[in-house]
Amino acid sequence: MPNRFYVTTPIYYVNDVPHIGHAYTTIAADVLARFYRLRGDDVFFLTGLDEHGQKVQQAAAKADIDPQAHCDRLMPTFKDLWTKLDISYDGFIRTTDPQHQAVVQRCLQTLHDKGLIYQAEYTGWYCTFDERFWTEKDLEQALCPDCRRPVEQVSERNYFFRMSQFQDRLKEHIHSHPEFIQPDSRRNEVLGFLQKPLEDLSISRPKSRLSWGIELPFDKDCVTYVWFDALVNYFSGLEYLGTHANAPEFWPASVHLVGKDILTTHAVYWSTMLMGMERTLPQSIFAHGWWTVDGEKMSKSRGNVVDPFAMIKEFGTDAFRYFLLRQVPFGQDGDFSLSSFHSRYQAELANDLGNLVSRTLAMLGNFSQHMVPRSDPQTETELEHQLQQAASALSEKIEQHLRALEFHRALEVTLGLVQMANQYIDKTAPWILAKDPDKKSRLQTVLFHLAESLRFLTFALAPFMPHAADSMKTRLGLTIDMSTPILASGPIWGEYDYINPVTKGTSLFPKKDLPSTSAPEPASSPTASAATGKKIESATPQTPSDLTPSDTPLIGIDEFLKVQLKVAKILEAERVPKSSKLLKLQVDVGAEKRQIIAGIGKKYSPEELVGKTIVVVANLKPAKLMGLESQGMVLAAGENDMLGLLGVSEDIAPGTKVK
């Protein structure tokens, strides 16, 4: 019987159109769902919309339409974006679904019957934006501690869930299940929250103040607090959505993906609700970070919001999916800039991956009549063995990283194989082998190894960039069904029998010029969501006129000659712990081996650097970075973003001075 994997996104508020925050969480969930399907697991992937609550009622009133009509108008926009992003959800839930409302009322009745819901008068500070009560001590300068908006004092008779009763039990569960809340910083945050006495949770709103919600089964004059309603979706959706006959058996969820702003509601509210209903807690709640743009918070008022529809139109679905998961470790805050996006697109997708596919297929067409030849073991060298080993280890490395939700690491090791294959082409020079009839067997071996590398990359990229993977499969003439569990027991190097001709096709990732604006013109003006709780803005980028020669101080030849530049070869490379940017390099500078700490970890993986010939500043005073001594500096090109290391085109010995 296959393992079960159940992944969820938050259900997103329908107070406005979807934006980059919605896309980020949902793409991450989709990658996990696609990967585990390829592994052979039975997968259920749930997403959807939160359609109740005061914010939705206010947005509908502002538009002068009925709340349900407001939800019905915005819902297709979300589904349209998921279609454009290739989101392969199994269930799309709406909290206005009658089936969901019935489950919510059943849960409320269960807790009420168990004596875990009571009625009481309450006076507190209410945040309309978060739809949440706060005590006096929670407020920060008379503002909501979450969204920093003004609050109002509200007195009313409400129903309360005895959340405080489960405080010690929840703390014990978090301590005994370290994987329950991730990453570790979020786990510590929740434990810190639980150091204060946990209060009971108001779970109702009087219809006199809020009519748009699910009616309490035991009081017709009240509706359910929107968060109680929304959180129940995670198992109500299993009861009536999707095509899985055994869908309810997927509970508990394998992972809830949420933005860090809604961690407390999931880790505390949801967990205690489940304890009260005597249901198993989810295996993991993972809270990712927020996105800024060009180092600044998002700002709808400035009109420079990153719109996923516009990014897809400009660069394509795969490039957008790739950048969001490659740019920043999942769990940390990330910064979006069009220059960073363009740099990764050009360097990693167009130049590295796209070029590898184009070169390989072109050579198969020119030198092998569009057919993949068999390898001749007699002509294989250490280069082939290294490529085989890297490709064969790729699937296991990706699985290791995705189980830890290290999307950027999984893409990093995949890109490592891309770059190794490109280097393999340069080292073997098939175009030279093709000119010598005596080297035919060697040429066939090289072409076979390139085709196999592309086959392995097709499978590795399938969860992240389904369009690109499908195109690579077609161009290689593969007859494999990508909807089958192809990663359950493989792939295995050399097992596939290439019987169909290959086709080069158009460029997988055509090179593009950087648009003149900081982001494609938004088609709409997104606002905050339950997924991220933040808005995006972008700063005006520098133009060439901002960097005139007069801005750079001139130096004399004597000063320049003080800088000693040398050719160096990278012998070893590894990441600096707790840093996404720094790499520790061991380099040969001729007479000695040195250690250099370089901030190039977002551009290069350690594996792809070994063997590179670079240029270093050899007479720089040693400095300490994160406790490690750096004995020099590598030279790289780029203004705000590091675009590439400076190297030499000739075979020059390490230690040679650069003049």
DSSP state string for 220-281: EEEEE-HHHHHHTHHHHHHHHSSS-TTGGGGPSPSEEEEEGGGHHIIIIIIHHHHHHTT-PP
Q: What value does the mean pLDDT take over residues 306-317?
A: 92
> How confident is the model at residue 521, as a pLDDT?
40
Q: 383 CB contacts (<8 Å, ≥6 apart)?
A: 424, 427, 428
CATH for 624: 2.40.50.140
> How confident is the model at residue 514, as a pLDDT?
72
540 is a domain residue: no
Dihedral pair phi/psi, residue 189, rounded to 5°: -65, -45
Mean pLDDT: which of 205-209, 260-264, 611-615 is highest? 260-264
pLDDT digits (tens, 9 = 90+) for 57-79: 888 998 899 999 999 999 999 99
> How confident is the model at residue 476, as a pLDDT?
97
Q: Is the pLDDT of residue 505 over 80?
A: yes
pTM of the model as a whole: 0.77
Between 110-114, 167-171, 545-549, the lowest mean confidence (pLDDT) is in: 545-549
Q: Following DSSP, what letter does each residue of 40-62 receive, concatenated? A: T-EEEEEEEEE--SHHHHHHHHH
> How confident is the model at residue 530, as a pLDDT?
35
pLDDT digits (tens, 9 = 90+) for 240-254: 986 666 777 899 999
Q: Given 495, 517, 539, which residue is the final one in a domain? A: 517
Q: Given 475, 500, 517, which residue is the final one in a domain? A: 517
368 with 447: CB under 8 angstroms? Answer: yes
524 is a domain residue: no
pLDDT digits (tens, 9 = 90+) for 343-360: 999 999 999 999 999 999
Between 32-36, 113-117, 391-395, 552-556, the lowest mean confidence (pLDDT) is in: 552-556
Q: What value does the mean pLDDT take over residues 1-14?
A: 91
Tell me 297's DSSP state: B
Q: Is the pLDDT of residue 456 over 60?
A: yes
Number of domains in the chain: 3
Return the C-alpha torsion angle 544, 546, 550, 554, nearest 10.
Answer: -80
Only one residue has tokens 């849960």, namely 107
d(CA 74, CA 294): 29
Same domain, 269 and 372: no
Q: Is the pLDDT of residue 318 over 90?
A: yes
Q: Which domain holds residue 25?
A: 4-302
Same domain, 567 and 421: no
d(CA 89, CA 72): 20
Q: Is the pLDDT of residue 545 over 70?
A: no
378 with 441: CB under 8 angstroms? Answer: yes
**pLDDT range class, residue 303, cuts 50, 70, 90:** low
Q: Is the pLDDT of residue 285 over 50?
A: yes
**pLDDT range class, residue 276, cuts 50, 70, 90:** very high
526 is a domain residue: no
Mean pLDDT: which of 29-43, 147-161, 501-515 is highest? 29-43
d(CA 532, CA 311): 19
Q: What value does the mean pLDDT take over residues 374-381?
A: 95
Specify the higher pLDDT residue, 333 or 246.
Answer: 333
> How confident is the model at residue 548, as a pLDDT?
31
d(CA 589, CA 585): 12
**pLDDT range class, residue 640, cuts 50, 70, 90:** low
Q: Is the pLDDT of residue 529 over 60?
A: no
Q: Is the pLDDT of residue 523 over 60?
A: no
544 is a domain residue: no
* Helical axes 317-326 vs 20-38, angle rounded to 10°: 90
> How confident is the model at residue 200, as a pLDDT?
95
Same domain, 96 and 191: yes
Q: Is the pLDDT of residue 451 over 50?
A: yes
517 with 305: CB under 8 angstroms? Answer: no
For residue 76, whether the previous peptide bond is cis, meaning omega lies within 30 degrees of 0, is no
Specify the higher pLDDT residue, 366 or 650.
Answer: 366
570 is a domain residue: yes
> How confident is the model at residue 546, as a pLDDT?
33
* Helical axes 317-326 vs 407-428, angle rounded to 10°: 110
> How confident is the model at residue 641, as a pLDDT?
64
Between 107-116, 185-194, 203-212, the lowest mean confidence (pLDDT) is in: 203-212
**What single-letter amino acid sits at 171?**
K
> How confident is the model at residue 67, as a pLDDT?
93
Q: What value does the mean pLDDT take over residues 137-148?
A: 81
d(CA 465, CA 586): 34
Same domain, 48 and 171: yes
Return the C-alpha torsion angle 354, 355, 361, 362, nearest 10.
Answer: 140
Same domain, 512 and 650: no
Q: Is the pLDDT of residue 502 over 60?
A: yes
Q: What value does the mean pLDDT take over residues 95-113?
A: 97
Same domain, 400 and 463: yes
CATH for 412: 1.10.730.10
> How confident is the model at residue 1, as a pLDDT?
64
Name beta bridge partners: 560.
none
438 is a domain residue: yes
Mean pLDDT for all residues in the chain: 88
Percentage of the chain lying above the pLDDT 90 cut? 63
Same domain, 294 and 387: no
Q: What value does the mean pLDDT take over residues 538-565?
A: 51
Same domain, 9 and 119: yes
Between 452-456, 498-502, 558-562, the lowest mean confidence (pLDDT) is in: 558-562
Q: What value does the mean pLDDT take over residues 189-209?
A: 93
CATH for 50: 3.40.50.620
> How confident is the model at residue 304, as a pLDDT?
61
Between 35-44, 374-383, 582-591, the lowest mean confidence (pLDDT) is in: 582-591
Q: Is the pLDDT of residue 101 over 60?
A: yes
Q: Given 302, 321, 355, which residue is the final one in a domain? A: 302
Same domain, 149 and 284: yes
d(CA 480, CA 382): 29
> How confident is the model at residue 534, as a pLDDT?
34
529 is a domain residue: no
Report the run of H or E that residue 117 belongs to, with start and end: strand 117-127
> How confident is the model at residue 539, as a pLDDT?
30
Same domain, 356 and 257: no
**pLDDT range class, residue 130, cuts 50, 70, 90:** confident
Q: Following DSSP, what letter does each residue of 123-141 receive, concatenated? A: EEEEETTTTEEE-GGG-BT
d(CA 463, CA 87): 10
Only one residue has tokens 């086959």, namely 455
Tell me 374's DSSP state: P
Q: Side-chain half-sphere of 455: how many Cα atoms within 13 Å?
A: 27
d(CA 262, CA 530): 7
Specify the higher pLDDT residue, 1 or 29.
Answer: 29
Same domain, 513 and 639: no
Q: Is 587 exposed, middle or buried (0-12, 13-18, 19+ CB in 10 A)?
A: buried
pLDDT digits (tens, 9 = 90+) for 629-639: 899 999 988 75
Q: What value does the mean pLDDT take over residues 118-141?
A: 80
d(CA 23, CA 180): 24
CA 458 to chain centroid, in Å, comes to 19
Q: Following DSSP, what letter does each residue of 60-104 receive, concatenated? A: HHHTTS-HHHHHHHHHHHHHHHHHHTT---SEEEETT-HHHHHHH
Question: What does the block give as tokens for 563?
Answer: 């800088």
Q: Is the pLDDT of residue 196 over 90?
A: yes
468 is a domain residue: yes
Specify the higher pLDDT residue, 508 or 296.
Answer: 508
> How confident is the model at residue 542, as a pLDDT?
33
Q: Is the pLDDT of residue 305 over 80?
A: no
Same domain, 287 and 364: no
Q: Is the pLDDT of residue 178 over 70?
A: yes
Q: What value does the mean pLDDT take over residues 558-576?
A: 83
